[in-house]
């Protein structure tokens, strides 16, 4: 017998914990015996393995892959659907509006879990309705939430106003809330130990730089790869942080702002990526929108990937997060860089066909089916 599968429950969690979190959690679980886990790629059910030898009283360990750890933001995305952006001083009516879970960190964590890879999220939400919305959305999709903290004291959950136009393009205004407030000056030993046991750590710029620096340093000390998405605050990135990043992932405009160089064509993008190399980042993964993506590794020729066309573009929110997280999953699974780019392109193509960042995150089967059809 290979194992016994149990259905997921939001009140009972049989995944093994790397560390217990002393902070009160949004989803509480009873005290459990620590049980090794693994994922079944198709049904995504956790499996328990027991020894069939009656002389043994202990469980037979199952080798588990090092998890993907996402450290970052969680937002309530307030969507308004409009035909066009308002001009200065103009009031326009929206066709529709709704609130969905989002934020770059939450998006990327959801993507990892949707792709059937064990994924932890380390972040903060407020003790409010938006925080509960995010916690439920991530938990329902299989994200491990032991390290998601709920803040009291009236600190609100971060949120964003997403102005979604009819062609699928969007403009976003972010309110930091719990993402930017009340982080400890020094992360706990439990948090940092999780970082050191990860397979890959994903960062973004919607939480304070000093938090990202602590995480990146801890990861480097343990030989854990750090991928940093450049999205988030529009401010210079500290050199101290870049020095501990293995793969830096901006889009064209973010690359241009960071380097102060034009990025209108591939030659200019290559030159800007070369400047990033001189700033200390050896690998630059650039998201090029409709022109695909490219990975610039210092000393090597760029690896380019075209887009995999979507049947229809409904909403581009979260496409970049899907791309970055999918690349990370493929990389931690041992795929080549070229295969990682193609896997990420397929995931992003599926994401843009659904409204909402987290609702649009594809599962592994859908990604593999799309790749096989190409």
Residues involved in catalysis: 321
As to burial, measured by CB atoms within 10 angstroms (0-12 exposed, 13-18 middle, 19+ buried), residue 179 is buried
Conformation bin of residue 149: beta by default, left when phi > 0, alpha when psi is -120 to 50: beta
- In order of 73, 148, 159, 170, 213, the CA distances from 217 in angstroms are 19, 20, 28, 34, 6
Of 220, 213, 207, the C-alpha closest to 238 is 213
User: Distance of alpha carbon 298 from its chain centroid, rounded?
Assistant: 25
- In order of 26, 100, 169, 203, 288, the CA distances from 97 in angstroms are 27, 10, 16, 29, 29
Nearest-5° angle of CA 118, CA 355, CA 366?
45
What SS3 string covers 13-58? Answer: CCCCCCCCCCCCCCCCCCCCCCCCCCECCCCCCEEECCCCCCCCCC
Of 85, 247, 52, the C-alpha closest to 166 is 85
């Amino acid at each position: 017998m290979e194992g016994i599968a149990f259905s997921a429950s939001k009140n009972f969690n049989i995944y093994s914990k790397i560390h217990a979190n002393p902070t009160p959690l949004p989803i509480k679980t009873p005290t459990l015996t620590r049980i090794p886990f693994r994922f079944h790629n198709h049904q995504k059910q956790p499996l328990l393995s027991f020894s069939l030898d009656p002389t043994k009283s202990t469980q037979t360990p199952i080798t588990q892959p090092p998890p993907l750890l996402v450290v970052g933001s969680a937002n309530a995305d307030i969507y308004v659907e409009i035909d066009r952006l308002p001009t200065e001083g103009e009031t326009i009516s929206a066709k529709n509006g709704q609130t969905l879970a989002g934020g770059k960190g939450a998006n990327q964590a959801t993507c990892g879990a949707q792709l059937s890879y064990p994924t932890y999220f380390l972040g903060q939400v407020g003790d409010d309705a938006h925080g509960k919305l995010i916690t439920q959305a991530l938990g329902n999709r299989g994200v491990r939430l032991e390290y998601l903290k709920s803040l009291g004291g009236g600190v609100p959950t971060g949120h964003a106003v997403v102005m979604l136009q009819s062609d699928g393009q969007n403009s976003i205004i972010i309110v930091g809330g719990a993402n930017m407030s009340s982080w400890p000056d020094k992360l706990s030993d439990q948090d940092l130990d999780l970082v050191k046991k990860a397979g890959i750590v994903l960062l973004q710029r919607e939480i304070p730089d000093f938090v990202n620096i602590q995480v990146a340093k801890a990861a480097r000390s343990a030989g854990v790869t750090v991928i940093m998405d450049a999205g988030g605050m529009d401010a210079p990135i500290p050199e101290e942080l870049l020095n501990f990043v293995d793969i830096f992932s901006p889009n064209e405009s973010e690359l241009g702002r960071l380097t102060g160089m034009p990025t209108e064509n591939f030659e200019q993008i290559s030159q800007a990526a070369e400047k990033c190399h001189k700033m200390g980042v050896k690998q630059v993964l650039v998201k090029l929108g409709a022109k695909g993506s490219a990975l610039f590794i210092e000393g090597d020729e760029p690896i380019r990937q075209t887009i995999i066309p979507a049947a229809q573009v409904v909403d581009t929110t979260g496409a970049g997060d899907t791309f970055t997280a999918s690349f990370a999953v493929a990389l931690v699974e041992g795929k080549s860089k070229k295969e990682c780019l193609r896997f990420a392109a397929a995931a992003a193509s599926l994401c843009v066909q659904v409204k909402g960042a987290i609702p649009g995150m594809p599962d592994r089967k859908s990604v593999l089916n799309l790749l096989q059809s190409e």
